[in-house]
Structure 1
Amino acid sequence: MASIIEFRRALHQIPELAFHETQTQAYVLQTLRNMGWDPRPIAGTGVVVDIDSGRPGPTVMFRADMDGLPLTEETGLAFASRHPGVMHACGHDGHMAILLGLAERLAEGAPFQGRVRLAFQPAEERPPGGALQMIEAGVLDGVDEVYGLHLWAGFPVGTIGLRPGPMMANADEFRIVVTGRGGHGSQPEATADAVLLASQIVVNLQTIVSRRVPALEPAVVTCGTIQGGHTFNIIAERAEITGTVRTFSAETQALVRQEMAHIARTTALLYGADAELVYNPGYPALINAEEPTRRWQARLREWATVVEPEPSMGGEDFAYYLHHRPGAFLFLGARPDVEYPHHSPHFQINEDALALGVEAFWNVIRA
């Protein structure tokens, strides 16, 4: 499908950040209209189009995310980003191209039953994400099942990762503000060193997973930044820790949050200081429904290698749709010759995966 590669390369050149996907939206709208469909804007910079087979059957929604990342591309591709400081470094250009490829197949008369809704969603990369705005705008009205995918550089082309149950994690953000007593670097006895306390809190937080969470329950507590102080000879009065928590169950999520607040507060009290936890729940866990997932697996196994991967601790706002409707989300193998991680300025995909993405979605609805 030469056109699907053309779609992807055109979109790759015009990446835009969350809720600013105006050129991307215009491209998707015009491309769908050129196929004979009647798309409409939704949720600001999103796009939705309904396609009716004229035959009885369910309404199935497929979703693609649209936004890029704040990165300067370093791939050297002839079709590299034309927008300085913004890049499609996670495969969203490919996701949109796959959905456009499915629209093209349906425009050519491929038989199916029921109705198809194609949803191009803004702002997957930026919590709270565009899925909530799409849902508030009515994208799930009348929808029976929802499906999505993510191009996955960790799998070779032809391999699909799909499992029922937990697929991706709760992705939460936290901030801990430590307030001590500042002073001269030569008189530490007169201070409560916020940098020292923050460092101790970071170490103590690591006991949550090892000593509080049940051994067979997945959880991650990552401290991403620690900031405090202004110069070499002054003991800091204030320091701040930021990071992320990844869990699958609501019970473990609540336990980790409770233990973090307790550790931060008591560690600071030990030295006559104070620490406050600000905890912001992010995308919920992505849970694939049993029956739609097993049905999809059976069809995919007719032509692809289907594996049931371990759940990923990454987050994905497609989870919101699955909280409202049954459906499933898969990882589509797209490993290039030279593999770089997602969100790298060197990130690339194997474009041979794009046609397989269309085939994967087609297998949900084929008559």
Structure 2
Amino acid sequence: MQQGRESWQEALIRYRRDLHRIPELGFEETETAAYLEEALTAMGLAPRRMAGTGLAADITGERPGATVAVRADIDGLPLAEETGLPFASRHPGRMHACGHDGHMAIVLGLARRLVERPAFSGRIRVFFQPSEERPPGGAPALIREGVLEGVDRVLGLHLWALDPVGTVRIRPGPLMANADEFIIRIHGRGGHGSEPENTQDAVLIAAQTVVNLQTVVARRMPAVEPAVLSCGTIQAGTTFNIIAEEAQITGTVRTFSDAARRRMVEEMRRIAEGTAALYGARAELEFLYGYPAVVNDTPSVDRLKRAWEGVVTVLDGPPSMGAEDFAYYLQERPGAFYFLGARPAEGPAWPHHSPHFRIDEAALPLGVETLYRGALAFLETEA
């Protein structure tokens, strides 16, 4: 791996493109982890493996002080890349389509910068987390293995390809949502399509259940409490002239508070069971709790905004209904998570998880700068 006298600024693009070529799925990131380990070792650091394919390395300043941890996620997606980039994925059916290659490059660049200029008090732990894309995620495993031991605050970012380079989205309190899934199973009585009077039609009940579920947010949740309930699939039946005995509905629920989460479960169960009962059938709800909400610490956000003055423009806006397992770190330690604009300067801004997804690499040095200033500001907070 090239290193020599190359500066952290010069290394950023190389890191990002090298990592973009080798996307791997959660907890399978062996090639990625080997690359990261080699890069960190070349800086003179002593990375340690955690949670299989995760890594952590400490950078100690010239004076004693607090510890701030900075995270990058490392997994790709099960997606065939269609960008046409010269450094496109060489792993068929795998792609970095959410910016995690950029996150790794930024945190490697941060590590290089800190190693080159350790004129700070305290310690900064950079760590690289496997399996962010799918619950249960890699964060709980890293926490169990001690990645936050001795840590005072945590910091993380996410490249955002729909906002222009030079902008940041951050807010105190909830930034991203609780992300849960559900399965509703309907048990009716099947029969011949010519004799519906002798059946309890699971397809009809499922259709009515989907319609009734839309009243949960519209009529059962407080108007000031954001929530989303989306049905993603209905599975039922086998052929034209058989009335289905069983049906299954799956979907997702997004909320920001524990109270709203509980209310959604109660109302969904009431509607599913009540709708089925109207037709003499039975329904059961299985609620699958996913990532909790990302809740930023207010003093941390205030400190970051001051540290970024003159560097980036902070955009106002509502929280995102998306989800992130960085939430688990924020449940354990104060800190903050933010979105860094990376919209391409030319061409369309493809959404995340698209096979055409791209970022503007001009965002990478801003990622290093915002993390660098943020981490030092957090160290000052704990002094």
TM superposition score normalised by structure 2: 0.94
User: Are 2:35 and 1:27 equivalent residues in the alignment?
Assistant: yes
1:365 to 340, 352, 375: 375
Partner in structure 1 of residue 4 of structure 2: none
Query: How far is the alpha carbon of 1:110 from its aligned partner?
Result: 4.6
| CA deviation string 1:123-178 (max 9, x = no partner) | 00010110000000000000000000000012100001111111000000101011
The residue identity in structure 2 corresponding to 1:263 is: I
User: Are 2:33 and 1:13 equivalent residues in the alignment?
Assistant: no
Once structures 1 and 2 are overlaid, which stretch shifts more, 337-346 or 104-113?
104-113
Partner in structure 2 of residue 240 of structure 1: 248
Query: How far is the alpha carbon of 1:302 from its aligned partner?
Result: 2.5
1:152 to 150, 160, 177: 160
Q: How does 1:38-77 map to 2 (within 5 A)?
A: 38-77=46-85
Counterpart CA distance in 2 for 1:365 and 1:135 is: 20
Q: How does 1:320-359 map to 2 (within 5 A)?
A: 320-336=328-344, 337=346, 338-359=348-369
The residue identity in structure 1 corresponding to 2:131 is: A
Kept in 1: contact 2:185–2:248 (CA 8 A): yes
List structure 1 segments (4+ residues) > 3 angstroms apart after TM superposition.
Answer: none
The residue identity in structure 2 corresponding to 1:279 is: F
Query: How far is the alpha carbon of 1:308 from its aligned partner?
Result: 2.9
Kept in 1: contact 2:162–2:350 (CA 8 A): no
Kept in 2: contact 1:188–1:235 (CA 8 A): yes
Kept in 2: contact 1:56–1:114 (CA 8 A): yes
Counterpart CA distance in 2 for 1:166 and 1:138 is: 25
Counterpart CA distance in 2 for 1:302 and 1:319 is: 28
Partner in structure 2 of residue 172 of structure 1: 180
Counterpart CA distance in 2 for 1:261 and 1:214 is: 18
Counterpart CA distance in 2 for 1:114 and 1:199 is: 59
Q: How does 1:238-277 map to 2 (within 5 A)?
A: 238-277=246-285
Query: How far is the alpha carbon of 1:111 from its aligned partner?
Result: 2.2
Compute the RMSD of aligned alpha carbons.
0.9
Kept in 2: contact 1:112–1:365 (CA 8 A): no
Counterpart CA distance in 2 for 1:107 and 1:159 is: 27
Q: Mind listing any 5+ residue stretches in structure 1 that lack a counterpart?
A: none
Counterpart CA distance in 2 for 1:100 and 1:156 is: 23
Partner in structure 2 of residue 181 of structure 1: 189
The residue identity in structure 2 corresponding to 1:344 is: S
Counterpart CA distance in 1 for 2:137 and 2:239 is: 38
Once structures 1 and 2 are overlaid, which stretch shifts more, 261-270 or 182-191?
182-191
SS in 2 for 1:99: helix
SS in 1 for 2:134: coil
1:280 to 288, 308, 312: 288
Counterpart CA distance in 2 for 1:110 and 1:152 is: 29
1:96 to 81, 101, 104: 104
1:204 to 197, 207, 212: 212
Counterpart CA distance in 1 for 2:316 and 2:334 is: 19
Counterpart CA distance in 2 for 1:344 and 1:323 is: 30
TM superposition score normalised by structure 1: 0.98
Counterpart CA distance in 1 for 2:62 and 2:288 is: 45
Identity, in percent, stands at: 62
The residue identity in structure 1 corresponding to 2:169 is: G
Aligned residues between the structures: 367
Kept in 1: contact 2:62–2:118 (CA 8 A): no
SS in 2 for 1:89: coil
| CA deviation string 1:32-83 (max 9, x = no partner) | 1111111011011101001111312210000000111111000011111111
Q: Mind listing any 5+ residue stretches in structure 2 that lack a counterpart?
A: 1-8
Kept in 2: contact 1:65–1:124 (CA 8 A): yes
1:316 to 314, 317, 324: 324
